[in-house]
Amino acid sequence: MHIAHIGLVGYGEVGKVFSAGLRGQGGVETVAAWDLKFADLRAGDAQRQHAAAAGVAATESLRELCGRSDLVISAVTASSTLAVAEEAAPHLRAGTVFLDLNSASPGTKQQAAALVDARGAHYVEAGVMTSVPPYGIRVPMLLGGAKAAALAAVLQDWGMDARPVSDQLGVASAIKMCRSIMIKGLEALVAESYVVARHYGVEEQVLPTLQETFPGIDWSAQGAYFLSRMVQHGQRRAEEMRESARTVREAGLEPLMASAIAARQQWVADLAAAGAFAAVEKKGAPWQDYADAILRRV
């Protein structure tokens, strides 16, 4: 598998990290990107300037991006997973590899794959197993699909931690979604428990009991990290959890927990959008600052 031209759909946090990390890799000649924000009169110029400074070509349309790319990487929000595949599929060249990084259910990925494969392109799903920024392009990823092994070999040559887990679509996504229920669920539990403990003034009694039960976790530091991630990325997390709920439903279970987690993540996202955390330091703030900001609103 030879890949010379890469296109990123979505020039957000993940898109920026991947486009910067893939430039200059062996055999890669160009990296391009398309994002809906490029067409935004207010935000588009800043995004295009960022891309230009990073050596990334900002294309005029998704059609243009697909037409010039050997590898198209979809890095959008979970709720846009299928919509991007639907829009991109008619413009993919035969033989193009479409790598879907988005956190979506096995069923959603299979629907997207049918659209891509029908055009003679090759759909590969990816389960991105942890937060991207600390790792960059070396973030652990599980790949699935008929071309997963071939693509993994190329990505590994670029220093990426990509491992094929199945030639059947849905396996990698199922792993990712089941893990997300636990991780995003812990975030939601911490948000609810810590804020209520703060309200009643019992945090100095509650946290030590957690520390005693789970001594390997610094519950104060972990709580601050969880809350910061929810504040920064709550909308994206809520969408991911709705896909996790879809995953549970596809398995024949009622997604009671996944749906509740999505609701709590969305609640924090809505507070953040309303400016509730404007006075909280973006880096290094203790969990108490987030809890106090929430309590001032509720």
pLDDT, residue 39, reads 84
The residues, any chain, with a CB within 8 Å of residue 140's CB and separated by 6 or more, are: 128, 129, 130, 161, 163
The confidence score (pLDDT) of residue 24 equals: 87
Amino acid 100: pLDDT? 98
- E runs forming strands in 35-187: 57-58, 71-74, 97-100, 122-128, 141-144, 162-166
Give the pLDDT mean for 48-52.
Answer: 92
Kindly report the CATH number that applies to the domain delimited by 173-297: 1.10.1040.10
The predicted pLDDT at position 258 comes to 98
- The per-residue pLDDT for range 88-134, each reduced to its tens digit, is 999 999 999 999 999 999 999 999 999 999 999 999 999 999 989 88
Domain locations in the chain as residue ranges = 5-169, 173-297
At the top level of CATH, the class of 5-169 is alpha beta
CA atoms within 13 A of residue 175's CA, in its CB half-sphere: 19
Q: What tens digit of pLDDT does each residue of 148-192 get?
A: 999 999 999 999 999 999 999 999 999 999 999 999 999 999 999
Q: pLDDT grade, residue 292 (50/70/90)?
A: very high
Assign 44 a pLDDT band (cuts: 50, 70, 90).
confident
Q: What is the mean pLDDT of residues 140-154?
A: 97
Residue 171: partners with Cβ closer than 8 Å, 6 or more residues away = 106, 144, 165
Q: How many helices (H) and strands (E) does the chain have?
A: 11, 8
Task: Give the confidence band of 135 by pLDDT, cuts at 50, 70, 90.
Answer: very high
User: Of 78, 114, 73, 75, which is closest to residue 96 (Cα–Cα)?
Assistant: 73
Q: Tokens 């809890």 map to which residue?
A: 291
State mean pLDDT over 190-199: 98
Give 99's contacts (C-beta < 8 A, 6+ positions apart): 71, 72, 73, 74, 124, 126, 151
pLDDT at residue 156, as a whole number? 97
C-alpha 146/C-alpha 167 separation (Å) is 5
